[in-house]
Amino acid sequence: RRCKQVHHLNINYVQGDNMSISCLTTTHPLQSLTVKLHKTNQDKDILMYPDISPEPEQERWSVRKDAGNVTLDLKDIRLSDDGLYDCQVYKDWDCLNVIRFNLKVK
């Protein structure tokens, strides 16, 4: 099912920096969740967690759960990372949350 609530963020980073974005605060174990990162302006899935074989270009993206927060990390930000993204978190077939963020890279 589609998410009812979408939260919007505008974020700015400098090329070469690392970024962390909280996609959801939950008591569910990370293993029971599906996290999907979609780059909307290219209509392309960037990351799917759990994913057995991430594409080499996507290895800079990762998902972790720390103190109840499901967090998306990006290492070594590049100019090509600039764009609009959706971080979607699902439990089974139910969408729990969507964070839509516009990443501007300087």
Q: Is the pTM of this model over 0.75?
A: yes
Tell me if residue 14 falls in helix, strand or coil.
Answer: coil
What residue type is assigned to position 106 of the chain? K
Tens-digit pLDDT profile for residues 6-46: 889 999 999 999 999 999 989 989 889 999 999 998 888 88
CA–CA separation, 106 vs 82, rounded Å? 9
- pLDDT at residue 84 in the model: 96
- pLDDT at residue 52 in the model: 60
> Is the model more confident about 100 or about 66?
100
Tens-digit pLDDT profile for residues 61-76: 999 988 889 999 999 9
